[in-house]
Amino acid sequence: MDKIGKYLILENLGQGRYASVYRAVDNELGREVALKVLKPGLTADESALKRFRHEAQILSTLVHPQIAFAWDMGQEEGYFYLALRYVQGSSLSQLLKMQGALPWEQALIYLQQLADALDFAHHKGYLHRDIKPANILIGQEQGAVLTDFGLVALQDTGMTTHSGETILGTPAYIAPEIWQDERASPASDQYSLACVAVEILGGEVAFPGDTPAAVMKRHVLGGPDFPPRWPASVPSRLNKVLEKALDQEPERRFSSASEFVSELRSLDKKTTVTQDQENIINRAVCLPAWTVGLGAALVLVLLAAALISGAAAISARASLAKITPSVPVEAALPAQAPILTYTQTYPPGPTGTYTIKPTPSPTGLPALITDDFDVEMVLVPAGPFWMGSEASTAQAECKKVDPDSDCEREWFDDEAPLRIITLMDYYLDLTEVSNAMYAECVSAGVCQPPTSYASATHQSYYGDPQFDDYSVINVSWDQASSYCGWRAARLPSEAEWEKAARGTDGRLYPWGNTFNGKNVNFCDRNCTEDWANDSYNDGYADTAPVGSYPDGASPYGALDMAGNVWEWVADWYDVYPGGDPDASESFGQRYRVLRGGSWHSDAYFVRSAYRGRDLPPGGTWNYVGFRCARSP
């Protein structure tokens, strides 16, 4: 079979009990689809045909980023087909078979995506009733996508999952109330998701058994079979959360799938070890190695110090040093070594936090260096990361952080596609370049002064000692490039900037996936623009001293990657490779990319994947600055 109607068959993706699934292309729209074709022998089976049509009707209404929704349905030459959204990737069951249990952060991202899909379906009034790893696709761009809604039911129909004497579904994931022929509910889907969570985190099914009857007995009369020892990345008290989600009484489970995952996220997975204050040695503190396992050693080096020159204000505001992990989200990304979290006390001074992630490259590069100009730079180790985002994801976050905004989808088209990019080791400035740092280059006769010495609210800014530690502004891309060259460095590429900002776990902001106005200098109540957010007050009407928001540090310890000032990067602004050329005007060599948002920006501009433009390389503004990068 080479063709069904307007669909050209490309390859067979798999066979099921009722249908075959093919990768196909719509010859009229040029769109790839997953073409689900009812097996010819079932076209006369009214029950099978009714289920097939029912699935198509439901999936046409479940248009969600984490659901394989339906584009089309039809009948051609005796074949009944359903054209579904195509997701390039493998099933979760295949991933688990190849990789085993997934790292904690990676598992949480997939579980959150699945919870979002389920809550969306439940809000629409539908139940899935067959949640299992085989019905979850892990897309290279989309993450976890829920598929196979063949057993979907309306919440108020009272439908069960029995067909005569045969139960419909997969025994290991079916809630006890279904086994007892009671009505399914959103709590039943949540129970199945919890079964999947056990498998993702522990590598084994929660309810094993040689026969359906044996599995049923465990669901109804027994309990889950948790691993005797969870992997090292799994936090304590996990069993308690899972036991609630897997309670035999539906009303005692969580109120929604998202509440279940939120409870997982709230678990404290950090172990703190305090070091004596006298161990601090000027700029670097080397911690001893601890043995991990038999014969293996894990050596962590915590590099922290009082910053001098333009960045001196950081240590004055810092009293703690925390190490935070960034865990890959895709099977293609390498697993990282175990990371312990240390709390380091600085000499007496104002309280605050300062985050450094000591993740040395396999080549043994230090996590923090000071260059020949006394500028501190953090290491971003070699390896792959998620870059970009889906426009729908960005649009949803925009509506969340700014409900009054139009949040048009096309605003975010140029962030797509979400994809994996691999980079070599590089260093990035710990902070944005300050006035004092830039003035050294001007004094050396290499750099030109800023085009204006004023900021938005201060007539005297650049050159005024009270603003030495504030971000330099009113410098063009060419001026920024000259400064970095003077330091034997360069402007970071767009990919380098984004990886340094969001790490490898695909987070939306440097600090995580939830906007927090306390972690960023953006347009809050001190800002005079119409879009000012009155919910936050950071005390600054425009720029702030560099490093003023240590709780907003990126996974590698880079500060102010969100807000304060937009940052020049090396790239010309244009559509990404693999993006939709019709979704973006082609700018060519007209604008350089700006990243990170600023004190002048709405909350949705400070996401790590957002791309700014509208300023040519020679242009300057009072909310645009930069930082530098260099290869080892």
DSSP symbols for 566-624:
EEEEEEEP-PPTTS-TTSS----TT-EEEES--TTS-GGGGSTT-EE----TT---TTE
Q: Pairing relation of β-strands 611-612 and 162-163?
A: unpaired
Specify the 3-state DSSP secondary structure of 12.
strand
Provide the token pair at 327.
């865990």
Q: Which of 216, 224, 210, 223 is nearest to 181 (CA)?
A: 216
- The region of weakest confidence among 128-137, 482-491, 581-590 is 581-590
Superfamily designation of domain 3-85? Phosphorylase Kinase; domain 1 (3.30.200.20)
User: What are the backbone angles phi and psi of residue 265, rounded to the nearest 5°?
Assistant: -65, -30
CB 572 within 8 A of CB 592: yes
Grade residue 520 by pLDDT with cuts at 50, 70 and 90.
very high
The structural domains of the chain, with segments of one domain joined by +, span 3-85, 89-265, 365-630
Distance CA 355, CA 319 (A): 11
Grade residue 288 by pLDDT with cuts at 50, 70 and 90.
very low
For 321, the enclosing helix (H) or strand (E) is strand 320-322
Q: What's the alpha-carbon Rg for the chain, to the nearest Å? A: 27
Grade residue 292 by pLDDT with cuts at 50, 70 and 90.
very low
- The region of weakest confidence among 128-132, 143-147, 167-171, 207-211 is 167-171
Mean local confidence (pLDDT), 489-508: 92
Q: Which CATH class is domain 89-265?
A: mainly alpha
Yes or no: domain 365-630 corresponds to CATH 3.90.1580.10: yes
The pLDDT of residue 336: 32
Angle, alpha carbons 11-91-504 (nearest 5°): 115
Grade residue 511 by pLDDT with cuts at 50, 70 and 90.
very high
Name the residues annotated as catalytic: 130
Q: Which of 548, 542, 558, 441 is nearest to 492 (CA)?
A: 558
Grade residue 591 by pLDDT with cuts at 50, 70 and 90.
confident
Specify the 3-state DSSP secondary structure of 429.
strand
Grade residue 422 by pLDDT with cuts at 50, 70 and 90.
confident
3-state SS record for 444-472: CCCCCCCCCCCCCCCCCCCCCHHHCCEEC
Distance CA 493, CA 451 (A): 24
Q: Pairing relation of β-strands 31-38 and 79-85?
A: antiparallel
- The torsion region of residue 614 among left (phi > 0), alpha (psi -120 to 50) and beta comes to left
pLDDT tens for residues 298-352?
222 222 332 223 333 333 223 222 223 333 333 233 333 222 222 222 222 222 3
Q: Hey, what amino acid is at 582?
A: D
Give the rounded distance of the alpha carbon of 202 from its chain centre.
22
Q: Using omega within 30 degrees of 0 as the cis cutoff, is the peptide bond preceding 417 cis? A: yes
Q: Which of 381, 397, 332, 313 is nearest to 98 (CA)?
A: 332
Distance CA 608, CA 394 (A): 11
pLDDT tens for residues 110-130?
999 999 889 988 888 888 888
The pLDDT of residue 282: 28
Grade residue 413 by pLDDT with cuts at 50, 70 and 90.
confident
Cβ neighbour number for residue 108 with a 10 Å cutoff: 23
The pLDDT of residue 46: 80
pLDDT tens for residues 256-285?
999 999 899 888 543 332 223 223 222 222
- The region of weakest confidence among 165-169, 259-263, 466-470 is 165-169
Mean local confidence (pLDDT), 277-299: 27
The pLDDT of residue 444: 94
Q: What percent of the chain has pLDDT over 70?
A: 79
**pLDDT greater than 80 at residue 253:** yes
Instruction: Tell me if 3-85 shares its fold with 365-630.
Output: no
**pLDDT greater than 80 at residue 160:** no
Q: Measured on CA atoms in the order 469, 471, 473, 477, is the torsion positive or negative? A: positive
Distance CA 299, CA 292 (A): 10
